[in-house]
A and B are shown apart, each in its own frame.
Chain A
Amino acid sequence: MTLLDSFFHLMEPAPFLLMMIGVIVGIAVGVMPGITAGMLMALTLPFTYAMAPVDAIILLISMFVGGVSGGLVTATLMRIPGEPSAIMTTLDGYPLAKRGFPGRALGLGNAASIVGGIVGWIALVLLTRPIADFAVQLGPWENFSLVLTALVLVSSLSRGSFLKGMISALLGVLLAFPGVDQTSGLVRLTFGFDAMTNGFQLLPVVIGLFAMSQLVADTMHVNQGTDHIRANMKGVLISLKDYATHGWNMLRSSLIGLWIGIHPGVGATVSSIVAYTVAKNMSKTPEEFGKGSEEAIVAAESANNATTGGTLIPLLALGIPGGIADAILLAALVMHNLRPGPLLFTTNPEIVNTIMATHLVAHLAMFATMTLGTLVFARLMLIPRAILFPLIVVFCAIGAFAMDGQIADVWIMLLFGLVGLAMEIARFPLAPFVIGFVLAPLAEGKLRSALMISDGSLWPLVTRPISLLLLLVSVACFVWPFWREWRQRRNSTA
């Protein structure tokens, strides 16, 4: 199935309906404060098990696109980021709406989102195949080094603290080990608990980390008011002149979002912050930022949507998830017995092409849905939390249970809900944890199969040029933050 075939497939009634459901539910969830796209995808994952892989991917990608975009509505009308990535939109979307232009604020954000999405899609189509063609030539040693580099990169790019990022990634790696060892078939690190024989499954871990802990945090904020600005349709559809005025800002912010998205573990929140800052620095009216600047809304929304395309590139080309949503997509592929990574282009091209086609069509559907349905979606913000939150907990519990039919998985979900809360309170980044958890079995499998080939010798790790290069990058990324701090201390004491 070629990319064109995938577009035609998407236009058939059943896949199209599935995509629309994904986009609409994604936007709805993005609009509701406290429920994120990652949470929705994690909750949906177990129920996609019975679907054909292509359908599951269509649904999940559409939810991803819809969810990232829906946060705009709550950020603009309530000053609450419906999604973490909409945090910068609150700073200017709400003031602009309060000045009497809610439709204009939503329209600008929506237009910027579609431009960001299209730029991300172009990069996805152009860059993924060449990278995958290169990666397919790599052997197990290079693959192991690549995964190691990705883990160190994820930690070093976690803003704030490399040390905490690295600890988070290693904790994720370590907690992926209990259960049946894939290479020897022996059961390990179960501490005598039969329920641990299958280890910690990805689904309950992800649902616990992102859905349960978010619900607990949301319950703390249950008294938060629901004051909002009434949405109207005036200015929702912006003119071609507006596209021309903001065109350069849209393109620049999209490229920033795309570039940041390609780096594992950084994500849409950071890309919107960086694009916002760059737009402010380059603006002729920086004093307007924070007071309802149109440039600010455009920058933040272009960047966060472009990131969705960027994060898919390492997932498809290398099998390395760029962010949380991609980690869930990776889990979906694994669940359907597909091998994520460069070989997917050869073994299952229909999956790769479906991801690419859905990414574009879902953005177009999102644009149309957001433009026409703004008033309807704005009403979803007002659903009482006392009704919504307990219902989501039931979905979490059944989502964790449904895969293997074991109550133990619900306990694991609750346990990881607490782990997620504790890590966030202690300000350990969560993204490296999940990516470490997902990549650990892959890295271990590559290393051990390579060692069997080399009769237990580790020398090929440093004698093979690409592997050596990747290892040097890892070491440099690992040492750099410590060296930089040591140099700062030395300079300050001198």
Chain B
Amino acid sequence: MPDSQAAKERKLDAIGGAVVVAIAAVMYVAASREPPAFYDPLGPGTIPMAVSALLGLLGFVLLGRAVLGWRTGQATQAMILGLDGDEQVDYALRPGLAAFCFAMTAAYTVALEFQVPFMWATFVFLFVSGAAMAGFKRRETAWVLAASIVGTGISVYLFQHVLQVNLP
């Protein structure tokens, strides 16, 4: 394995180990403050404390190995396709676009939370995200506009009338 790749792997392991230790510590403290139950020998906090302690220990091992420069290994079976940094592709990756679309999803959620009608929130989301993915080119954007109108109509009909979801 090239040195740069190994160094990147160790850095990711160190960050991962530190995050795991932090999560375990927060959960351990929170679990230790849970009150005991009357009839249950363990109470609601004991098992979360035990799991946090074991998780923190394993997080320390991961962090320690990364700091000492030992390899830990990596999952070789990806569940999410397309995140393999070593993959050679013959086109430009668009992390900025991915971040934008994720932010649009968050904005869509905020709009629904603030009672913006589902139909309008959905139409704007479909159109803006789709147009961004199409690179705001005139012809593709026109297609996206048409698809957004149809997609909104289908969503409203499907969720409200077929699946009887009480839409936000």
Measuring CB to CB, which residues of chain A are less than 8 angstroms from any residue of chain B?
Answer: 34, 36, 38, 47, 50, 81, 84, 158-167, 170-171, 173-174, 177, 181, 183-184, 186, 188-189, 191, 209-210, 212-225, 266-267, 269-270, 324, 384-387, 389-391, 393-395, 397-398, 401-402, 405, 407, 410-411, 414, 417, 420-421, 424-431, 444, 447-448, 451-452, 455-456
Contacts and interface: CB of A to CB of B under 8 A. Distances in A.
Given A159-B76, A191-B30, A448-B42, A184 B94 contact: no
Contacts of A414: 102, 105-106, 109
A390 B132 CA distance: 11
Interface in B1-32: 9, 12-13, 15-16, 20, 23-24, 27, 30-31
Contacts of A410: 109, 112
A494 B133 CA distance: 57
18 contacts: A34-B82, A36-B81, A161-B72, A163-B65, A167-B16, A167-B20, A167-B62, A171-B20, A174-B55, A184-B43, A184-B44, A210-B79, A216-B101, A217-B80, A217-B98, A224-B89, A394-B108, A411-B109
A164 B74 contact: yes
A430 B79 contact: yes
Given A167-B55, A424-B80, A386 B134 contact: yes
B91 A224 contact: yes
B122 A394 contact: yes
Contact of B75 (A189, A222, A394, A429): A429
A441 to B, nearest CB: 11
A410 B168 CA distance: 11
Given A161-B74, A170-B54, A171-B20, A391 B45 contact: no
B168 to A, nearest CB: 6
Contact of B143 (A174, A183, A384, A417): A384
B37 A174 contact: no
Given A84-B81, A186-B44, A427-B75, 17 more contacts: A36-B81, A50-B163, A161-B74, A163-B72, A181-B37, A217-B83, A221-B91, A270-B77, A386-B133, A386-B134, A386-B144, A389-B130, A393-B105, A405-B166, A424-B80, A431-B77, A452-B41
Which 5 A-B pairs have CB atoms at the shortest separation, nearest pair first?
A: A427-B74, A456-B41, A161-B73, A184-B37, A386-B133
Interface string B95-113: 1011001100110110011
A191 B30 CA distance: 8
A220 B74 CA distance: 22
Contacts of B51: 170, 173-174, 177
Contact of A391 (B41, B93, B126): B126
Interface size class of B (residues with CB under 8 A): 35 or more
A425 B42 contact: no
Given A164-B62, A394-B126, A398-B167, A219 B75 contact: no
Contact of A171 (B23, B101, B165): B23
Given A223-B92, A448-B42, A452-B40, A217 B166 contact: no
Contacts of A222: 94, 97, 133
A358 B108 CA distance: 38
B131 A386 contact: yes
A167 B55 CA distance: 6
A165 B59 CA distance: 12
B147 to A, nearest CB: 4
B73 to A, nearest CB: 4
Contacts of A163: 58, 61-62, 65, 72-73
B140 A386 contact: yes
Interface in B54-74: 54-55, 58-59, 61-62, 65, 72-74
B141 to A, nearest CB: 9
A167 B102 CA distance: 27
B125 A213 contact: no
Contacts of B31: 177, 188-189
A410 B44 CA distance: 27
Given A389-B129, A426-B16, A213 B151 contact: no
Given A164-B73, A387-B151, A189 B92 contact: no
A382 to B, nearest CB: 13
Nearest to A82: B81
Contacts of B97: 219-220, 222
Contacts of A266: 77
Contacts of A217: 80-83, 98
Given A166-B58, A391-B126, A394-B122, A218 B82 contact: yes
Contacts of B37: 181, 183-184, 186
Contacts of A424: 75, 78-80, 83
Contacts of A184: 37, 40, 43-44
A268 B98 CA distance: 28
A145 B133 CA distance: 49
B73 A160 contact: yes
A426 B13 contact: yes
Nearest to A443: B47
B112 A159 contact: no
Contact of B81 (A181, A214, A270): A214
Given A389-B101, A390-B129, A223 B72 contact: no
Contacts of B39: 452
B157 interface: no
B88 interface: no
B102 to A, nearest CB: 6
Nearest to A210: B79
A73 to B, nearest CB: 16
B159 interface: yes
Contacts of A171: 20, 23, 55
A385 B82 CA distance: 15
A159 B77 contact: yes
A425 B93 CA distance: 15
Contacts of B166: 405
A414 B13 CA distance: 24
